[in-house]
Structures are given as structure tokens and as C-alpha cells.
Structure 1
Amino acid sequence: MSSWHFRRRRLGLLALSLAVAVVAIAGCGAEAAGPRAEGPPKPGGNLVFGLGVDPVSLNPQGGASGNGALYVTRQLVDSLTEQDPATGGLVPWLATKWEVSPDAKVFTFTLREGVTFSDGSPVTAQSVKDNFDSIVAAGAKASGALPFLTGYARTVVVDPLTAQVEFNASNGAFLQATSSSALGLLAPSTLAVPFEERASGKLVGSGPFVLDHYTPNSEVVLRKRAGYDWAPETRRNRGEAYVDTVTFKIIPEAGARTGALQSGQIAAASDLPPQYVGLLRDSGYSFVVRPNPGLVYGFSLNQAAPVLADSNVRRALRSGIDAAEVRDTLLTPDFAVATSVLAKTTPGWLDQSASIGYDPDEANRLLDEAGWRRGADGIRVKDGRPLVLNTVSVSNFGPNQSILELLQQQLKRIGIRMEFKNGTVPEWLETLKTGAFDLAWGNFSRADGDVLRMTYAAAGNNSYRIDDPELEAALRGQQATADPQVRAQFINAAERLIVDRGYAIPVVELTSIIGQSGEVHGIEFGADSRLQQLNDAWVSGPH
């Protein structure tokens, strides 16, 4: 086992059965462990990468939402901008420059000359228009991209290399969205294919790799694109990829995926459960690690639930949760205890750790003050009603079941009974829609503070029934401008309100982890903590 041991006081044994999708720590790159080749990158070879989930859809505009899909599609499509993982700022990519109107309704992009899709067709302003129009026309089917185009009016082709994107309402977060693979540009030949058929891989992009074939539940094979030379300035290698091919092997069972890495069948792997991370570290494997930006894992509270109407109950919940115990018992040190509703890798993050610390004495005091008294079984009762909170969760993150079981025990210590159900994404969404819940456990990854608006604004789905004009003003304020500093001020204000008024309870930051053998070099995460384009990756071994 690793020199760092899981605490076994309660749920340590449960860790042995977890099948987790894990992610990474801010500021950390690949750890130095095991033999590493010296000298310049070695061209050629095949990078074999193990995925824990099948992509299902390779259409970046719709359906390609899990890591299995995002890791693959990022290799095939380029975006107008690139978000620098180190600073959170945007740098040129397909667009060499851009201008934004003061009201964040008009975005004008000047495109790079000489860029082509892999079928030889040019990347032009018409490409931008056709892609964005296609997303809006697809409607709900374009689930991966449509939320970024809220209020989209049209794209005007000013000249062959100038596209003017116009919105009916301010959309200050759109500029960051142009760095996502969801808004990556597809060739006219792909846009001519019915939207549903693109899922199987009938797509052409301008990226450094092209699709060789996709066999569902087996593998995705990509080939290097000859002549590629327009990677953004954040890449060390801005030209053709070093490796000849990338093979994504789909290996759902975590033990089998870890074994394949140890035996040399694959050279790198994602979705590694915590117990295997420790084992691999002890064996000399290195890791690429970075926390996911966006909403941390935690509880969002249904403000319409009668039991949560009292702010004392909401504050007691916050004080009764020991996030460090959750991390130390079920995860690894790669995961950080949350310090805000946003992860530290999110532009606009504000440290609120002083407001969300574990304090069971304060939790008990607040519940006593609210009139909730301990019953014979230790659960508090008021007006004949036990203090029971119904919680919904999604089973897409392996440790969720065990984490909720531990949180259940923690809340029981202060007299709260938490009952929970882990379900599918459709079940989760339906429950949020009906409002038949008290707490919702989950996270939302996005490298922009606008994730708060997408989650908590009353003007949206309003899943948490929040009626707070001050919060709404902050969320709308950050959307009304593209100025990063002004947006950050509004985002900070929203963070404070969400935590201080008990609309959410942050617990732990989701972290992405890729394990790799000593023959792999140059794998990195992007600002979204998803696999970056593999321009810089190379292999020194037999693959």
C-alpha cells in the first residue's frame, strides 16, 4: 500500500470495492516517479490510453459529455480560443484576436489564415456561422453546446476571416465557452451529416488527429494529421503531434484497467480508483493531477423544503459536516477539502474556508436554538416531526455511495437523519424538476464562474427554488460583461451569498488523475481538467 493510508475507522473497507472516476490538483503536473527518458521528444510510436467509460458519442456538440468522449473529441477539433490552465486567461487559437462590445452582446473574431479541416476544406468565418447555427437548430440534441449559446441571435460573416457573433442578451461567459471542445469547429462535410449520425464518428475537425475508427465498447483509434501547425501558444509543440497514433482502449473494470497499465498493455489510464492510485505510486508510476474547476462536490439545498426554511438548520448542516474526514477516509490526498462553492482552479474563486469549517458544537447549538430536540433514537424532533432530509445523487462518480454513507453518519451525530438515493442522470434531473427532495449531492465542472448562474439563477431552471434578488443581481452582473476583473467581483459576491445563506454546502473538490508508465511523456490537462490535445505527448517505449 501507499505510505499514505486510508483511515479505516468506518468505511475504509468500502474503498476496496469502489470503481471511481478520478481527476487532479491545481498547479501539479506529472509527478516525477519511475525512470524517465532524457533528451528531446522522440517522434513516432503509438500511445495506448485506457478509458474507464465508452465515449458513446463522438459529437462534441451533443452527447459527448463524459471523460471518455471529451478526451477523444478534444483531439479532433480546435476551438476559437484556448484557456491557459496556468492563468485562466484566454489566448489565440483559430482566432488570432477578438473584440467584445461593452454590453457583451457582440463578439467579433478574426480567424487565422491557412487553417484547414482534415478533409482539406478551409476554416473560415462561414465555418463559425454554420457551426453555431447548426447547434441552435439542433436544440436539445446539442446538449453539450447549446447552454453556451444562450440568447444567440446570429453570426454575421463580415469577410472570409471575420465572424461577428451576436446575442439578444448579454452573454459575458460566451468568450470562455469558445475555448471548449463543445464549440470546436466541424467541417462542412460533417455539418451536412444528420446530427444523430455524427455520434458514431462521422465527423471532420481541424485538430492534430483524425479518426481512424471507433468500435463502441472496445476502442477508438486516431491517426496523426500531417501538416498541422496552428496549436495555441500554451503548447510546447505547436506543430504536428509526435506520436503516429493514439489508441483509446475502453476497459470499464478498474482492476483490469490498472492491471493493463502494470502489464504494459496500455501506457496511461484515467478513471483510477483511490486504492489503485496508492498501489501504482508505490510501484513507481507517475500521475497527471488537477482539480476540476467549477462547482465542488457538495450539497445544494432546496429552499422550498419546509425543514430548510430556517437558516439555523441550514447553518447547522454546514457546521455538522467534516469534509476532511470524507477526504481522508474515502479519497486520496490528491483531493482537496473545499474552500468555497467553486474549486480553486476556477477563475473567480474566493477562499471561504473560514465560513465552512467543521464545528459539531455549533451545529448542535443551532439546532437546539431552532427548537429541534433529541428523540429517544437520537434523531431530533420538532412538533412531532423527525428531522429527516431526503437526498438525491447521481451514480456517475464511483465514491458517491460511500461518501453519502459517511455523511449520513456525520449528520446522525448532530441528530439529523439523512436518507439518500443514488440514481441515473435522467432520474436526477426529473427529481430536481419536481422538487421532491431536500438536498442534492453533486458537482458541475466548468472553467468559468458562470457555472454559478447555470446552477443557482432563478432565471434558469431554478432547481433549488432560490428567491434572492441580491444573488440574482450578482449572477446577472457577471453575465453582463466580458471584463474578467468585473466578472470576478460579481462572482465573488455570488459565492459569499451562496455559502453564507446556506444555498449550498461545499465538501470536496473533484480531482482528475491520469496514471502513466515511465515511457510516456507530455500528457497534460487543460483548464477544464480534461485531457488536453496530445501535441506534446510522446512515448519512449515499445508502444
Structure 2
Amino acid sequence: MTTRRTTLAAALAVTAALVLTACGSTAAGPGAVASTEPVQGGELTFAIANDPISLNPSGTGSGNDTLYVTRQLVDSLLYQNPETGALDPWLATSYTSNADATEFTFALRDDVTFSDGTPFTAANVKATFDDIIAAGALSQAVSSFVGYAGTDVVDDHTARVRFSTPNAAFPNSTASVALGIVGDATLKVPYDQRADGAALVGTGPFTLKIYTKDTATVLTARTDYAWGPTALGNDGRARLDTVTFQIVPEAGVRTGSLTSDQVDVAGGIQPNDVASIEQAGYPLVSRGNPGVTFGISFNVSHPVVADLSVRQAIAAAIDARTVRDTALNDSFAVATSVLAKNTPGYADQSAAFAYDPARAGKLLDAAGWKAGADGIREKDGAKLRLKLWWITNFGPNQTSLELIQQELKAVGVDLQLQSGPVPDFLEAQKNGDFDLVWGNLSRADGDVLRTTFSKATTRYRIDDPALETLLQQQLATSDPTARDAVLAQAQARIASQVYQIPVHELTSILGTQESVHAVTLGADSRLDSLVAAWKND
């Protein structure tokens, strides 16, 4: 190592050692001799921030870190190619759709088995999808099945999925982890008892060996796996023998564990660590996240923020570029719409979110909110005090929100920040215990607007017939160009009604040892299948 690398590792290793003493040294670090040919075998240790919470693929877990793990255990009918956006074969060799996007017929591979040795057939597709429907609100995937009328087992290797109303987004949905196919042994266990993964039987390249809550999840390669997506470059057995997802909540500790060679990959690299990691010679894997951008959304059932003028004022008081420049860096784009720029159907709405604190003040004045003695506005004896919930799983969130808090205070809004882990955040959303929410949602399809803002699925209590019509229309439009036009109208409606204030886009960043290869991010910018990953120690 150079002096710079040694200094960086020494500065961060002390903290890392406090929680990673059991890991040992697992990688060669910068300067390792790179092999030009993939190596078979080896162990990969991957540091993530959060416990998965649930290893049930369609269940509700802790977000991206959950999907990093479950992606390795289950396969999907289709694979969305991150380079082209195309839907490639995986468990299904092909699919067809009828003219009005109400029926999708999947031709399935005939050589796939589950980890318990049972064959994969169309009956498993039907059983998995029916199980998601039966789970209802317990499943994160149920929103993909709007209008679901059933799955027909045409024969062992042909499944037809039917909808009572058009669902043009469904093929894309089948590429997600949440719609990963599980075996009969899994479905025999009650849905709410599958979180620990003990019953999980999938067709993925790895199987669960050990899950220790808040500590680690250890996966073992299947020796008979032979159906990985062509785009990943390995359709056979995973090259690694084991993968261990180590829970390391603190971002600085994850960085330190990487630079002190205690882990092979560190997830959730924070913007302020990027330059030092690159300078020390550790490769980064990064990709902008498609889907809903990081921003503020409103619980419009609460009277204060039900007032459009108040929402418009809050939007005008926030300087998104300053927030980005302060909390992040140029790797993270300033958001210009509720959708990130690399999301199919993106349309620029930046004109609706110009920074104008003077306008914010005038809007609040007109809405009856007058400045009090302490500078916080009042109306009918009540302070303009709002509660915003946010999750602690992305380091820059706090800096972003503290700056936004200052910007809103400057126009007389008292923003109260309430943070917590994912389960607390989800519970607050379920109960409606918030005025505003800070967050994002990664998905490589514009239908993410429907799953976020539709009356049937929204966490924000939105009841807007004009928006609902657009969200359902895009779902019923199979022509991509026409669908993009409808999605643009939906974004314009969300912007004009200020249901969400876009602030910045997310970029997923992994740090790796030089000895690690073929660790990639998928179309949704989450960890892809590790079937092709390898190490040269």
C-alpha cells in the first residue's frame, strides 16, 4: 500500500474493528494482482447498513439492503437489462401480450429446479402470484397486480397471467425481486411467519445458510444452478462459494472495514467518503437510481398541508441545488421532477420548483399564516409547526433535512424532524402520524408513480381524480411513446399540486477491493445477482 492508503485505513480501521473483529481479513486490498480469468470459489463479505428484517421476497423488509440479499435467493420470470432497459429471458424464455395488455403469456424454461430439488413449473408461477394476492397489504408486491384476475397453467411450461383491466407495467414488474418465484415448501408456511427465511425455497444461485438478526446473513452457492441471465456473463453455478452480508449500520465503519481489508464490498458509500476511497485505490461501483427522487411528500389528509398554497410555499422556500451541494456532491443530480432522469417516461418539471422565498412568504400571508413574535407563523392561535418523518439509512439525509429546516424557518415554518429505523418509519406512514415525509423509491419504470400516488396505494392520502385518471391511463397504454406522454402529464399534475417536492436524485455507490470483480447494480440500481461475481485473492 502507498502511504495515503495506509493512512486512510489506519484512520478508519479502529472504529471498524469494534464491530468487525469476527470478520477477519477477507481480501487483498489495493495493489492486488488482478486475474484476467474468472476464479471459481472463494468467500465474499459484503457490508450493508440494515438488517434485512424479512427474507420473504414479496414481504416488507428494510428496503435496498433486504433486496440485496433476497435477489441472490430467488429468480424472476424476466431480467431487466441495466444497459438497454430491455426485458431479457430468465425463468421465462419469452412472453407475449394481447392487444389491450390484459393477458401476458410466459413460456418457461424446462430445466429449472428449486433449491429443494423440486421442478419449476407454471404451477409455481400461479401459486406465487396467488400467494401475493392473498397476502394483501402484508406484501410489497401487491400493487403490481392491480386488476389481477388469475394465472392459468396452460401446461407445465406455459403460464398465462390475466387482468380485468389493462396492466402494461406488469412485464416490467416480473423482473423485480418482489415477484421472485418461490417453491411449494415456502407457500405451506403462513405468510407472516416467513421473515427469517427458514422456509424460503427459491431457484436462485444461492441458498440461505445462516440468518442472525442484526448481525449477518450467510448464503451458500447451489452447485446445480444453470440458468442465470445471459447479460450477467455466467449462466452456470455461482463462481463464489459463499456470500456473507454483514450488518454494519455506521457508514464510516463500513468505509473503514473496506479500507482495512476486513470486507470485500461495502454498500451505501456516503458522498463524503467517495474522494478518499478513490484516492486510496479502491474501485467504486455506482449507478443513478431510477424511480421517485429524494424529496418531500405530504399527508394531504392533514388540514394544514391540505392547503395547496402551503405546499406551494414550502416548495418555493427550498433551494434544491444548495441542499445537493451542501449534503452531497456532483455524483447526485439535482432533481427536476418526481421521477429521476433515467426513469422511462421522465419529464422535466423544474419550472414548477423555482427557489423563491419571497413568493413563499406571500403565499403564506395570503393563506392567513402571519409571522408571530418568534418568527414562526400563526393562524387561529396555532403555530405553523409540521412533523417530517425520515429514515436514518442514508447518511446525508440528516444534513439535507437540517438545511431544509433552516430554509423553512426563514419563511416562518417550524419543521420538526422525526427520524428512526425503517420499521418505525413504515408504522408512522401506516398510522398517518406525519405531515411530511422525506424519502425516495427506486424502480426502473414510470409506473412507480402509480404505486406511490394512486388513491388505492398511496401512503399520502391523495384523492385526486385527475391524477388517478392519468395513473391508470399509463397502466393501460402498451405503446411506449404514448405511455411516456401520459406519464409526462402525470408528473405535471403532481408538480402543479405539489404532492411531492423533488430535491435530489439518488446514486447507489458500492466500494470494493481490487480483487473483486463482476459485482454490479441492476436496472433498479440495487445489487444485481452475484452469480457472475468472483475474487482473485
- Place the TM-score, normalised by the shorter chain, in its bin: 0.7 to 0.9
The partner residue of 2:141 within 135, 141, 145 is: 145
Partner of residue 413, structure 1:
410
Partner of residue 498, structure 1:
494
The partner residue of 1:322 within 297, 319, 322 is: 319
Counterpart contact for 2:51–2:62, Cα < 8 Å:
no
SS of 2:72's equivalent in the other structure is helix
CA distance in 2, matches of 1:157, 1:501: 44
Partner of residue 521, structure 1:
517
Q: CA deviation at 1:506?
A: 0.7
Q: CA deviation at 1:318?
A: 1.6
Partner of residue 169, structure 1:
165
Q: 1:431 to 1:201 in 2, by over 3 A?
A: closer
* Deviations 1:87-127, CA, capped at 9 Å, x for gaps: 33312211111122333322211112322223332211111
Partner of residue 399, structure 2:
402
Q: CA deviation at 1:309?
A: 5.2
Partner of residue 26, structure 1:
none
Counterpart contact for 2:344–2:444, Cα < 8 Å:
yes
Counterpart contact for 2:35–2:536, Cα < 8 Å:
no
The partner residue of 1:478 within 474, 478, 482 is: 474
After superposing the two structures, state which structure 1 stretch, 162-171 or 388-397, moved more.
388-397
SS of 2:230's equivalent in the other structure is coil
Q: 1:381 to 1:250 in 2, by over 3 A?
A: closer
SS of 2:66's equivalent in the other structure is helix
Q: 1:208 to 1:464 in 2, by over 3 A?
A: closer
Partner of residue 224, structure 1:
221
Q: CA deviation at 1:240?
A: 2.6
TM-score of the pair, normalised by structure 1: 0.85
Paired residue type of 1:157:
V
Identity rate of aligned residues, in percent? 52
Counterpart contact for 2:268–2:394, Cα < 8 Å:
no
Q: CA deviation at 1:153?
A: 2.5
Q: CA deviation at 1:173?
A: 2.2
CA distance in 2, matches of 1:53, 1:503: 29
SS of 1:477's equivalent in the other structure is helix
Partner of residue 155, structure 2:
159
Paired residue type of 1:182:
A
CA distance in 2, matches of 1:147, 1:407: 32
Q: 1:162 to 1:217 in 2, by over 3 A?
A: same
Q: 1:431 to 1:215 in 2, by over 3 A?
A: closer
TM-score of the pair, normalised by structure 2: 0.86
CA distance in 1, matches of 2:53, 2:466: 41
Q: CA deviation at 1:72?
A: 1.6
Paired residue type of 2:471:
L
Partner of residue 27, structure 1:
none
Partner of residue 182, structure 2:
186
Q: 1:197 to 1:430 in 2, by over 3 A?
A: closer
Q: CA deviation at 1:396?
A: 4.1
Counterpart contact for 2:49–2:393, Cα < 8 Å:
no
Q: CA deviation at 1:475?
A: 0.7
The partner residue of 2:260 within 259, 263, 283 is: 263
Partner of residue 95, structure 1:
92
Counterpart contact for 1:175–1:482, Cα < 8 Å:
no
Partner of residue 8, structure 1:
none
CA distance in 1, matches of 2:379, 2:193: 56
Counterpart contact for 1:172–1:480, Cα < 8 Å:
yes
Q: Does structure 1 residue 56 correspond to structure 2 residue 34? A: no
**Considering only aligned residues, what root-mean-square deviation do their CA atoms show, in Å?**
2.8
Q: CA deviation at 1:503?
A: 1.8
* Deviations 1:231-265, CA, capped at 9 Å, x for gaps: 22321223332222222222334343322212212
Q: 1:432 to 1:249 in 2, by over 3 A?
A: closer
After superposing the two structures, state which structure 1 stretch, 417-426 or 45-54, moved more.
417-426
Partner of residue 292, structure 2:
295
Counterpart contact for 1:393–1:422, Cα < 8 Å:
yes
* Deviations 1:436-472, CA, capped at 9 Å, x for gaps: 64322222222222221222222x1554343432211
The partner residue of 1:512 within 500, 508, 512 is: 508
Q: 1:414 to 1:237 in 2, by over 3 A?
A: same
Q: 1:260 to 1:305 in 2, by over 3 A?
A: closer
Q: Does structure 1 residue 336 correspond to structure 2 residue 333? A: yes
Partner of residue 528, structure 2:
532
Counterpart contact for 1:34–1:285, Cα < 8 Å:
no
CA distance in 2, matches of 1:441, 1:356: 17
CA distance in 1, matches of 2:464, 2:298: 14
CA distance in 1, matches of 2:491, 2:275: 34
SS of 1:199's equivalent in the other structure is coil
Counterpart contact for 1:85–1:526, Cα < 8 Å:
yes
Q: CA deviation at 1:402?
A: 3.4
Partner of residue 25, structure 1:
none
The partner residue of 1:389 within 370, 386, 391 is: 386
Q: 1:163 to 1:322 in 2, by over 3 A?
A: same
Q: CA deviation at 1:432?
A: 4.5
Partner of residue 125, structure 2:
128
Partner of residue 24, structure 2:
none
Q: 1:220 to 1:428 in 2, by over 3 A?
A: closer
After superposing the two structures, state which structure 1 stretch, 71-80 or 57-66, moved more.
57-66
CA distance in 2, matches of 1:42, 1:93: 24
Counterpart contact for 1:432–1:463, Cα < 8 Å:
yes
SS of 1:212's equivalent in the other structure is strand
Partner of residue 234, structure 1:
231
Partner of residue 465, structure 2:
469
Q: 1:323 to 1:224 in 2, by over 3 A?
A: same
CA distance in 2, matches of 1:438, 1:275: 30
CA distance in 1, matches of 2:465, 2:136: 30
Q: Does structure 1 residue 105 correspond to structure 2 residue 102? A: yes
Counterpart contact for 1:389–1:419, Cα < 8 Å:
yes
Q: Could you list the runs of 5+ residues in structure 1 that have no partner in the other structure?
A: 3-16, 18-32
Paired residue type of 1:46:
E
CA distance in 1, matches of 2:378, 2:504: 30
CA distance in 2, matches of 1:468, 1:250: 41
Counterpart contact for 2:385–2:413, Cα < 8 Å:
yes
Q: 1:429 to 1:62 in 2, by over 3 A?
A: closer
